[in-house]
Chains A and B, each alone.
Chain A
């Protein structure tokens, strides 16, 4: 029980939750671990309840080692077995976070993440394949995914800004 069968299958699950504990993305790589959707969501809720208050980086729940990180209204989790090397799990978590942070131009928050969901799916796919760590260097991941969020996302706020600056310009051109 104590010693670990040497294997590349390091990651049992990875998930991203919002600040109400809702699933935004989750992947389970071990078919024996929580096979049903209901069990998965219960597990995610339990993990969220135990971790969202304090940013402690690491927890041990339901017999699993969980490393996590939060950013504004997002929570990132990587799950491994109790015997797993915690630092390996951390390297996956860090790579995930760094890659997403780059893709989202440092706006690691829920809205921006959802607007770029395809990029998020691709990043996760490049970091972990079926539980095996495929890549742990964020630069490599970015290169492989080759995806960037829009330069000027057309949000309401930016529309207002554009209008504002247009007004200013018109105003100055009249006043000139």
Chain B
């Protein structure tokens, strides 16, 4: 038994912290006694504890002092005191990254790991693997293999877990231990079994066949460890998800059978897995829901929480499946854990009938101030969903939201409320004025610049179209007087929109603008001067181009182009059309109702997919003369699932060329493919200029090859925009050893026929959002307007027709015209886009439903051929 070192000098009253006033330098000084002979285990132990405690508190150790202490510590291996030795292992692990030459303890640790003392062996393995790198790992490989299959569970577990940690660094070495791990998986010890399963999965997760085999084996033989069961359930549900396996698959049966496991942990894991499966039917959900229902009345808070949180998820997609639990959920409303209560209420809001809404809202407002922001956001999301379901309740909701808006809360919470109000306004025109009034009140006292500018933008967009636009002017102008630069600038832009749209307000807007021109901030002044001059022209087209519909280019793209322009001085003015367009126009759709788990989203402006492609393509010398990338399509599968090679194609459109990028994956582990090209047989006017092969395509490492095609000069026929290519992949095969990947010297040519690839009109058009379609329509003018009428005989509903047209033309629906109001027989769809080469295209489609859909299409553009192409392609 270890006696405590003399505590008297530190004990200045019970409750004090013996480590409180530790000085790093003093502790390191004390560490000198490590060198004394004989070793005093009691004192050394206490000093090691102090060092670890300091490290844990975040004390910074310099490399020299850490190394010095570390080397002194190595002497303690001479002592046979058990606890002291264990603390040495801990010190090694803690210092592995801050001290130099930690590998000098390798031999001591190797000795302990293979020694007779079982107590030392496991911890020694874990410490050793912490300081080992790939080269040294090979030196201890033999010991690791033995340790994995050792009969002492703690040794085996330690070896397995350490191997798992090493996979990241030395996959190739650890891969060789699969057989040992396999043997360990049939161990009687539950933890060994769990760790072995985890390691096996990590080593095999890229090999679907091996994972399937492993699952079959374990689901049949059964396991002892509940942890291992949870792991198996996760693997099975991931596999089901990837293979789109039907729910009659044995994997699904396995998960369902786990609902009857003895252990709650396993039962919950299985229920949760079923709930998270996409396309689950109500019948398949039922057993999962009923076990969750049982959990709702568990005395364990964690279990109740888990159950109600999962039920909440179910309620998002299948509210009716949860109705059976309503009674249990009602009981949870008064749960002392407010997280549980909130989740219960929000679930009830989704499942309950319209009549219970008022009662639940009252209940929730009684404790909304007590719950954390994360759950307030959940409440707001539930309300948002409710408003979509029961549009008639929007006045109750609006009231509730405005009260919440007045309460204290963080940014995320306020943003959720504002988003929710905005979505209500967009869905219910009759709530627009109340909503805007609440938001106006909110910005009077709003500390979040982002929200204030967002609301000002909305006011600028919606305000001018309300019956009484003048009342918003005061709120907006107040911002100009009181707020920070960013908000003032946004307010000026909003004012300009009022001036542009309401002639009777124009004089007063101009007066206010004049005042803004005196602002102390450059941006505000510039905007005011700019808008002032545009407004004074009183021309509709100018207003449309510069006030209503902003830039539609990609911002990172613009930045790059401008940078390029400043590098090469030229006489030519900067051409806006040379800038790639933004791929995802700022959508007007409301954000997906996110689950509880999204509160930690990174708020970075990530470059879009297209900007990434642009960069990749620009790095290939053959593509440098093509100009800016106009559009990249979604990936198209050119092979069936589960074939030898997986090929996907992305179509990149440039002003006069197209580049087809083929992303190929070789799924045969005994083949190495070289010089891979995809040969394309075009019809008529297209001309293949160049193939750029992928040099090497080893097993399971994706590679890309490219085909460059010249587009025919503008030929106003449908052929140029609608064409089919037949594709064949050609390559040199070299057989290789599946284990080492070592290829033979000789290879042979082979080819593989892919599915046909289509190029459609959508590949030539980029979506552009015109927030004010009417203004844009006037701006383009009717110089090249053409109109034609078509009958869409096969289409039965207006919704279907709208969806077809949008996906066919690949254009952006504006003014929310993609949503067809219910019970209407006619609809007008507005579409906007830019045609390859930078020509604006606007389409107005009037649809009428009568025994099939009749469609009258009007196209406007600043280029005649473009109009012809679109009409020809529709026909």
A residues with a Cβ closer than 8 A to B are 1-8, 23, 25-27, 37, 40-41, 50, 54, 56-64, 67, 82-83, 85-91, 110-111, 114-115, 117-119, 121-122, 125, 129-130, 132-136, 140, 144-148, 150-151, 153-157
| Chain B residues near A (Cβ < 8 Å) | 1-4, 7-8, 11, 14-19, 45-46, 48-49, 52-53, 56-58, 82-83, 86-87, 90, 93, 119, 122-123, 126, 154, 157-158, 161-162, 164-165, 191, 194-195, 198-199, 201-202, 205, 227, 230-231, 234-235, 237-238, 241, 264-265, 268-269, 272, 276, 300-303, 305-306, 313, 336-339, 372, 374-375, 595-600
Chain B residue contacts of A129, Cβ below 8 A: 126, 158, 161-162, 165
Residue from B56, B194, B198, B374 in contact with A25 in the complex, judged by beta carbons closer than 8 Å: B56
Are A58 and B302 in contact, CB atoms less than 8 angstroms apart?
Answer: yes
- Given the known interface contacts A3-B238, A87-B303, A122-B86, the answer about A23 and B57 at a Cβ–Cβ threshold of 8 Å is yes
> A85-B272, A150-B4 are known contacts. Are A60 and B374 too (CB-CB below 8 A)?
yes
In the complex the two chains form, is B90's CB within 8 Å of A87's CB? no
List the 3 closest A-B pairs by CB distance, nearest first.
Answer: A63-B600, A82-B597, A8-B198
Q: Could you jot down 8 A-B contacts, CB within 8 Å? A: A8-B199, A25-B56, A56-B301, A82-B597, A87-B268, A118-B49, A129-B161, A150-B1
Q: Which residues of A contact B339 (CB under 8 A)?
A: 56, 58-60
Known interface pairs A114-B17, A134-B161. Does A3 touch B241 (Cβ–Cβ under 8 Å)?
yes
Q: List A contacts of B15 (CB < 8 A).
A: 110-111
Chain B nearest Cβ from A86, distance in angstroms:
4
A contact residues around B374 at 8 Å (CB): 60-63
A57 touches B19 (CB 8 A): no
B119–A8 touching, CB < 8 Å: no
Asked if residues B87 and A157 are in contact (CB atoms below 8 Å), the reply is: no
Report the bound CA distance from A132 to B159 in whole Å. 13
| Most A Cβ at <10 Å: residue of B1, B119, B372 | B372
Q: Closest CB-CB distance, B291 to chain A, in whole Å? A: 13
- Contact present for B19 and A56 (CB under 8 Å): no
Contact A37 B265 (CB under 8 A): no
Partner among B19, B93, B227, B337 whose Cβ is within 8 Å of the Cβ of A117: B19
A1/B597 in contact, CB under 8 A:
yes
Nearest chain B residue, comparing its CB with the CB of A54: B336
Give, as a whole number of angstroms, the nearest-CB distance from B302 to chain A: 5
Collect the chain A residues with CB atoms within 8 Å of residue B82's CB: 146
CB <8 Å contact, A121 and B191: no
Give complex CA distance A70, B264 in Å: 23
Whether A3 lies near B276 (C-beta < 8 A) is yes
State how many angstroms separate the Cβ of B165 from the closest Cβ of chain A.
5
Tell me which of B123, B162, B276, B375 contacts A2 (CB under 8 A).
B276
* Shortest distance from the beta carbon of B79 to any chain A beta carbon, whole Å: 14
Structural contact, B303 and A86, CB atoms closer than 8 A: yes
Return A57 CB to nearest CB of chain B, in Å: 4
Q: Which residue of A lies closest to B15 (CB)?
A: A111
Do the beta carbons of A62 and B191 come within 8 Å of each other? no
Query: Please, how many angstroms separate the alpha-carbon atoms of A147 and B93 in the complex?
Result: 20
The docked-state distance in angstroms from the alpha carbon of A54 to that of B133 is: 46
Report yes or no: B276 in contact with A8, Cβ–Cβ below 8 A: no
Chain A contacts of B264 at CB under 8 A?
87
With a cutoff of 8 Å between Cβ atoms, the chain B residues found around residue A136 in the complex are: 191, 227
Residues of B within 8 A of A54 (CB): 336-337
Chain A contacts for B7, CB-based, 8 A: 115, 154-155
Contact A58 B238 (CB under 8 A): no
The residue of chain B having its C-beta at the shortest distance from the C-beta of A89 within the complex is: B302
| A132, B198: Cβ atoms closer than 8 Å | yes
Q: Is A8 a contact of B14 with CB atoms below 8 Å?
A: no
Q: Is the CB of A153 within 8 A of B375?
A: no
Known A-B contacts A6-B238, A7-B198, A41-B58; the reply to A155 vs B11 at CB < 8 A is yes
Contacts of A50 in B (CB 8 A): 372
Closest chain A CB from B838 CB (angstroms): 37
